[in-house]
Amino acid sequence: MKIARFELFPLRIPLKAPFVTSLGALREVESVVLRATTGDGLIGWGECNPFWSINGETQETCLAVGKHLAKALIGHDPSDIEGAHRIMDRLIFGNNSIKSAFDIALHDLAAQRAGLPLYRFLGGRENRQLTTDYTVSLGSPEKMTADAPDIVRSGFSVIKVKLGSGVEEDIARIRAIREAIGDTIPLRIDANQGWTPEIAIHVLNALAPFNIQHCEEPIPRWQFMEMRRVKEASPIPIMADESCCDHHDAERLIGLGACQRFNIKLGKSGGLFKAKKIIALAEQAGMEVQMGGFLESRLGWTAAAHMASTSDAVKYCDMDTPLMFIADPVFGGIVYGPAGTIAVPDALGLGASVDPSILMGGTAVE
């Protein structure tokens, strides 16, 4: 089985409302969909959603670099995923977002050829039911307080809150949300690198009474040497996100004792192959991880959900963004149920594809 053809497609879908973090606001999805076809007609799908301020890629750069990766992988055996990563990493440094789309498509093909659902191909034993949080975007305390009860009424059992734009305002946001929804439903907070170490310590201690599960990336990623100081002074567990892209980052953070948890995103790690390495390191260190992501459609999130089903170390899922789209372009894939539950498909391979009628303006490499 050899790859005979790759096709790269831009995908744009407006969001129901702006998705706002301390890094900025997004109003539409700009992803890249990859379709890989073998010589005997088997089709594998992949997707990435480049996030400018985190992985330094855009839809345009992914399409451009993707053509070079495709040329390098034509004729490659998709079951040799480690070899494909060697080829991609030798060809160009970084660019983990577009590399993740190729990684997912190769895994889809390899799992189909093996006659297995992707989670089983990755080493998982059972199809676990997953549960996602739902995110409150960054905004005024009044706006965020109004949004949180709507999420509770929708049945979600965990809420994620974006912070990182001001010390007292961030504290006020959480206090107001708690007053609006009560103390029962756990909150997860994400500063997206928005605080200094000193501010992080102050805010995290102030938020200790509010039933916070963890805080993602409280300080700038380049200050990872300061993360342990924040962790040791914080009553809330620290989860590395932007500072933990691949397994090399995870190994360094473990060595530093910098955090209690990792947030794994396929678009940061370069795909499933290296994400699995992060999980293995977390297992060895007795750490918990979260499967997160960017603004992928259900296609990309289906790959992440398969990965989440492979290890008990994956305790948390942040997989809500497809629910924010005005349209769903995916056939098959994960299914969202009550209370944020997610069902993973048992079909062969990824079990998801994209509606061909919306794939226009693609580039083929063969």
What does the pLDDT read at residue 71? 98
Identify whether residues 134 and 204 lie together within a single domain: yes
Identify whether residues 338 and 360 lie together within a single domain: no
Q: Looking at the predicted structure, is the pLDDT value of residue 45 above 90?
A: yes
With a pLDDT cut of 70, the percent of the chain lying above it is: 100
Confidence of residue 140 (pLDDT cuts 50, 70, 90): confident
What does the pLDDT read at residue 128? 85
- The CATH number of the domain holding residue 159 is 3.20.20.120
Identify whether residues 337 and 203 lie together within a single domain: yes
Identify whether residues 56 and 164 lie together within a single domain: no
Are residues 99 and 69 in contact, defined by beta-carbon separation less than 8 angstroms?
Answer: yes
Identify whether residues 109 and 127 lie together within a single domain: no
Identify whether residues 79 and 142 lie together within a single domain: no
Query: Is 0.75 surpassed by the pTM of this model?
Result: yes
Identify whether residues 112 and 130 lie together within a single domain: no
Q: Which of 190, 242, 249, 320 is catalytic?
A: 190
With a pLDDT cut of 90, the percent of the chain lying above it is: 89
Nearest CA among 229, 247, 231, 233 for reference residue 285 = 247
Q: Which of 30, 47, 147, 216 is catalytic?
A: 216
- The CATH number of the domain holding residue 40 is 3.30.390.10
What does the pLDDT read at residue 139? 85
Confidence of residue 327 (pLDDT cuts 50, 70, 90): very high
Q: Which of 99, 160, 265, 268 is catalytic?
A: 265
Residue with tokens 């975007």, as numbered in its chain: 137
Identify whether residues 275 and 144 lie together within a single domain: yes
Q: Which of 162, 231, 268, 274 is catalytic?
A: 162
Q: In this predicted model, what pLDDT tens digit does every residue of 195-218 receive, in sequence order?
A: 999 999 999 999 999 999 999 999
User: Dihedral of CA 205/238/283/319: which sign?
Assistant: positive
Q: Is 277 a catalytic residue?
A: no
Q: Is 190 a catalytic residue?
A: yes
Lowest mean pLDDT among 43-47, 81-85, 204-208, 359-363: 359-363
Are residues 174 and 207 in contact, defined by beta-carbon separation less than 8 angstroms?
Answer: yes
Tally of structural domains, the chain = 2
What does the pLDDT read at residue 341? 96
For the chain, give me the number of helices (H) and strands (E)?
Answer: 13, 17
Lowest mean pLDDT among 35-44, 54-63, 123-132, 207-216: 123-132
Nearest CA among 248, 278, 270, 240 for reference residue 94 = 270
Give the Cα separation of 72 and 69 in Å (integer). Answer: 5
Q: Which of 7, 57, 241, 246 is catalytic?
A: 241
What does the pLDDT read at residue 218? 97
Give the Cα separation of 45 and 164 in Å (integer). Answer: 35
Q: Is 265 a catalytic residue?
A: yes
Confidence of residue 248 (pLDDT cuts 50, 70, 90): very high
Q: If you average pLDDT over residues 80-99, what whole number do you get?
A: 98
Identify whether residues 196 and 87 lie together within a single domain: no
Structural domain harbouring 335: 121-353
Q: List helix spans (H) across the chain.
A: 52-55, 59-73, 81-91, 96-114, 118-121, 141-153, 167-181, 197-206, 227-233, 247-256, 266-269, 272-285, 298-308
Confidence of residue 8 (pLDDT cuts 50, 70, 90): very high
Q: In this predicted model, what pLDDT tens digit does every residue of 294-320 receive, in sequence order?
A: 999 999 999 999 999 999 999 999 999
Q: In this predicted model, what pLDDT tens digit does every residue of 151-201 receive, in sequence order?
A: 999 999 999 999 988 899 999 999 999 999 999 999 999 999 999 999 999
Nearest CA among 199, 187, 198, 280 for reference residue 237 = 187
Give the Cα separation of 343 and 323 in Å (integer). Answer: 14
Identify whether residues 202 and 213 lie together within a single domain: yes
Identify whether residues 110 and 134 lie together within a single domain: no
Identify whether residues 109 and 133 lie together within a single domain: no
Q: Can you tell me whether residue 172 is helix, strand or coil?
A: helix
Residues paired with 134 in a beta bridge: 159
Kindly state the tokens that stand for 123. 């080493």
222: Cβ–Cβ under 8 A, 6 or more apart, which residues? Answer: none
